[in-house]
Amino acid sequence: MRDYKNKWELAVNAYNGTGGFSDGSYLDKYPRESDDKIEERKKVAFFDSIFKQKVSRYVGYIYRQKPMRVTSNSLMRLIFDDADKMGNNMDVFMSSFAHEAKVRGSMLLLVDMPKEIPSNHADQMAQRAVPYFVPIEPERIDSYKIDRFGKFEWVRFTDTIDESTPEESVTKDVIRYYDDNGWKVYDGDKVIDQGEYNIGMCPVLQFSESGSFPCVGEFTQIGQLAKRHYNMNSELDEILRAQTFSLLTIQATSPKDVEINIGTDNAMAYGAQMDRPEFIAPPSAPADTYRDRIKSIEERINEIAYDTTTSNSAESGISLEIKFQGLNGSLGNFAMRLNDIEIRALYVASRYLGIDYDCEVSYPSEFNIVDIQEGIATLDNLKALGYKLPNYEKEKLSRIVSNDLGSISEDVKAAINAEIEDAVKEVDATEE
């Protein structure tokens, strides 16, 4: 578990720009570098957080089309409208959960219930006395046991309790424990709070990108690449600061006797018998080598994150098609995992409420992310060859427009498709 935690922590720090990226502790010291020198490098080091934008773009594809959620129960609809008891609806909560899960490849989701439940439905609705969801980072796990069906029999994880007063800010580190029957809060070995529930299962659910817990995700390795990128930028800075400036050279019979003090506000004279002073510049090869290596790391990060926006013009159509197929396949798998954990969480919520589960949740199962420019070029080429394929043109245009606009209502989508069909017919009629 420790190896997983180290990888998760590095990925999270690369995502947020925290930890060793913010204090310089991720910088590797040269073999003969002094302590003072490495401290100076830490002060001027900068972190280029390219990881966060990759995750945001990826998750954005999933939520361009909002998941469908249906229930006939008014209490369950309260959860749809406020999933975490903080005012965030299910779309907002699950989108945030998806970001954290994509960085790590694993996450936990606690389905909790308020201690005090009103005796009548009206008060329960008014006070929102229904279950709520709490995301738990997997690196906080202290210990756990999973049964043969892949569910937690019990799990312990770290947490912090706020015991602040108006006069003083105070927090306490505790351990939270959950199993099939109840929960406990430990301060060291002492139980300071506890409770029971009658849901017949542990309310802490696991999310795993691969299907088995624990795991690291396909994006998690970007953390290690980001660390190397951070170091190479610092090392390139060191080369530029130490060697970029040109050096003045003067030929002299006795160099030790030459004293020079020149700047932007004075000049240097030299005699007729003296060769003209010159500047020499250090070679650019070391810096160029670093730039090439930094670029290759960035390209590898783009490849892992399915970032098709960075494709160059020389890339073949087949290569781009493979990229988009990989992206669409990855999105389909990740959306399926999100769909699954949301259904499981709502089922646990229904057990807390003692009602029959009647929720329907449906995430997009297919993603047809395409290269818009490539799609338009394909249509133009077909027309140039004299082919008339109205059904193909309609479908191709619909996909291009859908990817360009993102999330739109079904009514607007239907209206746009009707316009596309009319436009295709009009073009065909004109060409005849």
**DSSP string for residues in 47-90:** ----HHHHHHHHHHHHTTSPPEEE-S-HHHHHHHH-SSSSS--H
> Over 90: is that where the pLDDT of 206 sits?
yes
Q: Give the pLDDT confidence score for residue 65 in this predicted structure.
A: 83
Please state whether 85 falls in left (phi above 0), alpha (psi between -120 and 50) or beta: left
Helix (H) or strand (E) holding 186: strand 182-187
- Which pLDDT value is given to residue 323? 77
Residue 130: its pLDDT value, please? 94
Question: Among the ranges 116-125, 246-255, 350-359, 379-388, which has the highest mean pLDDT value?
Answer: 350-359
Q: Classify burial at 227, counting beta carbons within 10 Å of its beta carbon; exposed 0-12, middle 13-18, buried 19 or more.
A: buried
Distances (CA, A) of 287 to 60, 262, 293: 37, 28, 10
d(CA 82, CA 90): 7
Task: State both tokens at 74.
Answer: 């008014």
Euclidean distance between CA atoms 240 and 244, whole angstroms: 5
pLDDT at 167: 86
Helix axes 90-104, 317-353, angle to 10 degrees: 120
SS3 at position 146: strand
| Mean pLDDT of the region 104-108 | 96
Report CA dihedral (180, 184, 186, 189) to the nearest 10 degrees.
-70
The shares of helix, strand and coil residues in the chain, as percent rounded to the nearest 5, are 50, 15, 35
| Mean pLDDT, residues 309-322 | 61
For the entire predicted model, the pTM comes to 0.79
Q: What is the pLDDT of residues 384-420, one digit of tens each?
A: 666 666 777 667 677 666 666 655 566 766 777 777 6
Read off the pLDDT of residues 39-48 as tens digits, 9 standing for 90 and up: 888 888 888 8
Least confident of 168-177, 272-281, 369-378: 369-378
Kindly state the percentage of the chain with pLDDT values over 70: 76
